[in-house]
Each structure stands twice: as C-alpha cells, then as structure tokens.
Amino acid sequence: MKKIAFVFVFSLLLHNLSFAQNAKRDQFVASLIKKMTIDEKLGQLNLLVGGEATTGSVVSSNVESKLKAGKVGGIFSLSSPEKTRKAQELALQSRLKIPAIFGMDVIHGYRTMFPIPLGMSATWDMDLIEKSARMAAQEATADGIFWTFSPMVDICRDPRWGRASEGSGEDVFLGSKIAAAMVKGYQGKNLADKNTMLACVKHFALYGAAEGGRDYNTTDMSRVRMYNEYLPPYKAALDAGAGSIMASFNEIDGIPATANKWLLTDLLRKEWGFKGFVVTDYTGNNEMIDHGIGDLQTVTAKALRAGSDMDMVGEGFLNTLKKSLVEEKVTQAEIDRAVRLILNAKYDLGLFEDPFRYCDENRAKTEIYNDETRAFSREVATKSFVLLKNKNNVLPLNTSQKIAVVGPLINNKENMAGTWSVSETRTNSITLMEGLRNALGEKIEILQARGANIYSDPVMDANAAMFGKTTGRDNRSDEELLFEAVRVAKDADVIVAALGESAEMSGESSSRSQIDIPENQRNLLKALVKTGKPVVLVLFTGRPLVLTWENENVDAILNVWFAGTEAGNAIADALYGKVNPSGKLSMSFPRNEGQIPVYYNHKNTGRPHSGKPGYEKFRSNYLDVTNEPLFPFGYGLSYTTFEYGDIKLDKTSMTESQQIKVSVEVKNTGSYDGEEVVQLYIRDKVGTNTRPVKELKDFKKVLIKKGESTTVEFTVRLDNLKYYTNELQYIAEKGVFEAMIGGDSDKVKKAEFVLK
C-alpha cells in the first residue's frame, strides 16, 4: 500500500514538473513567435537536404545563404560535428538566431550497422531492439545528428514491397512493441540529453499496404482494418513519446496523407492527442501535383491546413504560403501552429540553451564505432538469424569438415549492411569470407568460388547495385562461373552457398514482382545439390522470398538477412555453433507469388478449407497451391528441439475485471542450450464483427538449457480480447475464446475459455 502511495505521489510530482517545464517552454516559444516575420516563420517550416543521401530527384540548393537568411528550419543528411557546427553557425547569423535541427535516416544503426529492421524484428527481443536504438542515438548524436527518421512502423503483408525490409513485418502486436522500444531507445529519458535524439515515426499511414506491393502506389482499406490491423504501431510509437511523425507518400480515402485532414488532424491530434510536429516525406508536398489534387500553391495550402508542419526538400511551404496567406487560403493561426510545434521540438532538444550541444568533436572520436558497438552488433546479428531448415542436423558445422564457400556476395563489403545504411563506413563491414577466416584461423583451408552473379542480365545486376553498392560483377559467362564453382565444391565435405538478394534489391523503390532467388543463382544451387554433397544455403535477403524449390532440395537454410557491420563474424558464429540460432520470422514466406498477401491472422471466411490435405471444391482455396505459406509467421528452428506440453488455464472463465493465467511447459529435448520464443495467440470465436483465426497477444523469449524444461506463463486480460467494431468502438464481447501457445503461429496447443 505504502509503495502504491509513493508511486502515485512520485508520478504526480513528475507530472507537475513536466507541466511546469512545458509552461515555461510555451511562454518562450510564444514570445519568440511574436517577434517573427512571416518569412522567418516560413523558414522554420523548411527542411533541406544536406547532400550525402538523397532519395528523390530534387536536391537542395543555396543552403548556406538560406541558412543565414533564416529560411531553413532544419537540414538532414549532413554529418560530422564540424559540418553541423558550421551550418549551425550560419543559422545563428539569422536575425532571430534560431538554431537549426539536424536529421538523418538513422534506421538500423548509425556508423556501426545492425541488421535491417526486418531482421531486428526476428529477434523478438525488445531489450536488444531498444538497446540498438540507444546505441544508434549515441553514435549519431556524437556525430552532430539529433533527429532520426525512424522507427518505420508500417505493417506489411506483401513481400513484393521492397520496404518490407525497413519494418517489423506483418503483425500489429509485435510491430507495436518494437515501435515503442525503438522510440524509448532513441529518445531516452530526456530529449535534451546529449546522447538522445528525436524520433520520427513513419510513414503515416498505411504506406506498407501499397497495391501490388509497388512502392508509392495507392492504398485503400476500411476503417475497421485500419484501426485493428494497421494503425496501432504508429499509436504505440507516439504513446512511447515520439516527438515527430512523417506523412506517407500514399493516399488514404483518395486524399494523399500529406494533405489528409482526417489523418493528420482528426485522428492524429484530436483522437490521439499528438503534440509533436508532422513532417512531409521527401518532396511529398510537391508530389501532390502528380497525384492530381492541384498546383503547387493549392497542394501546399492543403497540406498545411490538413496538419503538415514541415516541408521536406520541396520548398513549397517556403515559396507559396505567403501568397496563400494574403489570398486567405491559409490562416495565420495555421502557420503559427506549425512554427510553434517545430520550435517546441527545438526547445525540448535543448537547442535554445546550447545550439552546439551535439557538436562535440571529442565524442565523435571515441563514441562512434568502437569495440563495444561492434560486439553488440555481432550479438544482435546472430540473434536475427532464422534457421529455416536443418535436415539431419547438417548445421552446426565442425572445423574438421572442409568447406567450399560459393556465391556472389561472399567477399563483398558493400552489401553486408543492407539498405538504408547511409552513414556506414562500408570498408568496416566484415564479409562472409572474412568472418569464416576469423573463425577458422589461417591454417584451415577454405575453398571458394563466386559461382554466379546476382543476376545474369547486366541491366538487372545494375538495378541491384544502387548507391554505389556494386555487386562486383564478374564478366565470365554463367556457365563458366558455375563450372568453376562445381569443380571447387567437389573437393569439399560440405558446401556453403551464400545466395539471394543484394542489399539494394530491397528498400525504397525496390519492389519485385518475382521474389525468388534469381534464376542464374538457382541454377548454380541446383548444380551444387547435384554434387551430392550436403548444401547449406546462407540466404541474404531483405524480404521474405519464395524458397519452395530450395526447401525441398537443400539440406539447411540459414536466413541471415543483411546483418550489419559484423555480418561475416556473426554468420560464422552461427554456422559453427558458437551461437544457436533463435530468430523467428515476423513475416510469412509464401510458397509462390500468387499466394500474396498471405498472413497468419487472416479471417476464416464462410467457406474455409477443412485443413485436410488437398484441394476442396467450393471452399476458399487454390487449385494449384495450398493456403498455408511455406514458412509461417513466428517460425524459426534451433540447433536444439523444443517440446510443448498441453496448455493449462488457472480457470476456464473470467469476468471483465478478472484475468486468466495461461501456461505451458516447454522442454528442451535436443542437445544444445537454446532460446525459444514462446507465443500466445487468441481467437475470438464469435463476434459482432468477424474475427481473425488467431492474433498474437503476447510472447516470451526464454533460454532453456538442454534437457531442462521451464513453465512459461501469460496473463490474459480484458484488453487482450478487445477489438474495434464497425462503429469503431473498442470492446471485448462476451463469449468463447481460444488460447493458443506454440513456437510459431501454425503449430499451437489450444484451450478454450469464456468471457462472462
């Protein structure tokens, strides 16, 4: 009781303190706004790109003179304390000396790269994910950057979309947890601390639901689906305190997000109470001309009125809002709102107190890319790997086996970190060959051959090598490359075929209609399998791929995504059993492209397939492929095996104020210690709305020593049973529910309970 009273008083104190701080800030900002001319105000809404990384055709010009003239609110992609100091000095030459904000796409690490976000999500480890964001913030702020365009929390059920690599997969519960963990990691306890940075949640909203998986394409969905399946991760990130949010490129209900008042004002501000600022995506404002909703002045006015505050790169706000104000197309209050929210963020970041607080050359020397960050990168990389197949326990390898390592990326530093690694130093990356050499030492022979290019077609190969991340194309013919690899492999005891995608085959504007391993690489794999030697496929990929042939024909598949700076060392750790893989998929792997979208939490339909083998007439299924994906959500093997006991419930019914404890015993029945992600799913068996066949509601990652077992317990609360109805009421309905626990979304133990 005493403790509760203490916590209550303490949180009241904290609340009052932050109230007082906010009041002080509001007063400061209000008096500053009073002094500002209209041009100075519009300057604050202007975000320019500093040079190094651009994702559109427009690049900012005359940045220096604009800074001095007070026409820039912030700059992104300018790094190093020297450069940001210089830019800040220019900003401070403006009449009101308002400091600029410096941002960057710090997506999965800063200089020390971690696995791509889809890989990070496969760790299902929130502490690790939070720590990765913390460490990225530590490095970025030491290099002059204190605003990141991350986390990307767009739910994606379509692996054709290249940006699946940047998110946390298909599930709303896991996605929401990760969104919150990332924000906490970046922003820490206090935004004004020197090593914390402002998070920017993106892309608001529904960007991952682009039709056909084609980037920037139209989205269209019901409100019920939005509220239940797509919006919660954005909300979770904001609830965790994210101070900014980015409008997405796509339209929603026929209006681009950037100018969508329902989205940016009614939902975001009124319903959710968001107090931070909205930035457009890269020229997102100007692109509304091509969307077809008006000329630059019109779309800009619409964007501001809808709730966009800062204009990324396009300069429409800077150049047209003054005219719109005169013509009464926007109001002074709307402009002041945007200015106020941006100045608030600058105040919270401590910039008015010390504009150079993130320009510390000494920090840059010691806090970026050091032993600690590298060790962490290696650890997190190993935890992101997903073991998809391991026939006859071909993995882990042992050092007495002679290995042949084959594939286009085995010696390629540029492709280890994956997409969105704009701030990496590419030469730092450890390749697969380097990692294996480090693990095996100089004395053990390692056979190697390239075997194939990423693509046979040079044009496709060039498309797969954006941002100067060359694929190291070998100009020999496919046959010559393959022949050499087979000859080399014949001398080995086991073949490690490292195949798949190059780093830039996923990420922005890298949609694919066929998501398999390119044909020439598959031909190589077929030839390697034909040698009769055991073949381990080490899969580089930024998205779920179609691996139906591979799953039938190779012995083991270790999916290593793009694992970051320490990729090669981490892969060697996993291949030789120094670590036991524990990653679980956060996105289903389809059997073929025709199954897309395939996701675990689908509806039952009125004509569900019975689940027995084979096609069923007049049931919801295909003639030529089953409904189930090749590898389901939550799936991933280990070098050991886990056996699940039956589900136990402490009671079989609950009232609204009660809860049920659901538990299961998990036994490690193999011969290695291992970590297992135990997953709890719930099905609402009868609802006013139709309900998914199952939904993830909780999970726990546990380490179980070989031969030992542990009981994993979850608590089912009313909140786990709620959903948004047609009227968008968030309710739990009385009736029968099913609890399911398992090591993936498919193989589960079940038990029913009732909400009374």
Binding residues for ligand BGC, rule: CB under 6 A, are 55-56, 105, 149, 202, 281-282, 508
- Closest approach, Cβ 152 to ligand BGC, in A, equals 7
Query: Which one, 48 or 405, has the nearer CB to ligand BGC?
Result: 48
- Closest approach, Cβ 65 to ligand BGC, in A, equals 23
For tokens 């100067």, the residue is 468
671: left (phi over 0), alpha (psi -120 to 50) or beta: alpha
SS3 440: helix
Q: What are phi and psi of 126, to 5 degrees?
A: -70, -35
281 is catalytic: yes
Query: If residue 278 lies in a helix (H) or strand (E), which one and from where to where?
Result: strand 277-279
Query: Which one, 250 or 448, has the nearer CB to ligand BGC?
Result: 250
Q: Residue 270: count other Cβ atoms within 10 Å of its Cβ.
A: 10
Gap between the Cα atoms of 26 and 23, Å rounded? 5
Helix axes 332-348, 2-35, angle to 10 degrees: 130
- Closest approach, Cβ 416 to ligand BGC, in A, equals 21
Which tokens sit at 57? 């055709």
SS3 658: coil
- Closest approach, Cβ 86 to ligand BGC, in A, equals 21
DSSP conformation class of 503: G
For tokens 């929603």, the residue is 252
- Closest approach, Cβ 255 to ligand BGC, in A, equals 19
Query: Which one, 216 or 352, has the nearer CB to ligand BGC?
Result: 216
HSE value, Cβ hemisphere, 13 Å, CA-based, for 352: 14
Gap between the Cα atoms of 382 and 379, Å rounded? 5
Gap between the Cα atoms of 232 and 740, Å rounded? 22
Gap between the Cα atoms of 287 and 299, Å rounded? 9
- Closest approach, Cβ 118 to ligand BGC, in A, equals 15
- Closest approach, Cβ 203 to ligand BGC, in A, equals 6
Query: Which one, 88 or 165, has the nearer CB to ligand BGC?
Result: 165
Strands (E) across 602-747 are located at: 642-644, 648-649, 653-654, 660-668, 674-684, 695-704, 709-716, 723-724, 730-731, 735-742
Query: Which one, 282 or 317, has the nearer CB to ligand BGC?
Result: 282
Which one of 105, 171, 215, 281 is the catalytic residue? 281
Q: List Cα–Cα distances, 670 to 382, 386, 584, 637, in angstroms.
A: 20, 18, 18, 12
DSSP conformation class of 284: T
Gap between the Cα atoms of 398 and 184, Å rounded? 41
Q: Residue 458: count other Cβ atoms within 10 Å of its Cβ.
A: 11
Query: If residue 176 lies in a helix (H) or strand (E), which one and from where to where?
Result: helix 172-187
Gap between the Cα atoms of 526 and 523, Å rounded? 5
Query: If residue 403 lies in a helix (H) or strand (E), which one and from where to where?
Result: strand 403-406
- Closest approach, Cβ 107 to ligand BGC, in A, equals 8
Gap between the Cα atoms of 490 and 483, Å rounded? 11
CB 203 within 8 A of CB 154: yes
Query: Which one, 204 or 699, has the nearer CB to ligand BGC?
Result: 204
Query: Which one, 508 or 573, has the nearer CB to ligand BGC?
Result: 508
CB 307 within 8 A of CB 264: yes
- Closest approach, Cβ 513 to ligand BGC, in A, equals 21
- Closest approach, Cβ 438 to ligand BGC, in A, equals 34
Query: Which one, 56 or 597, has the nearer CB to ligand BGC?
Result: 56
Query: Which one, 149 or 724, has the nearer CB to ligand BGC?
Result: 149
- Enumerate the β-bridge partners of residue 245: 201, 278
Query: Which one, 216 or 356, has the nearer CB to ligand BGC?
Result: 216
Known catalytic residues? 281
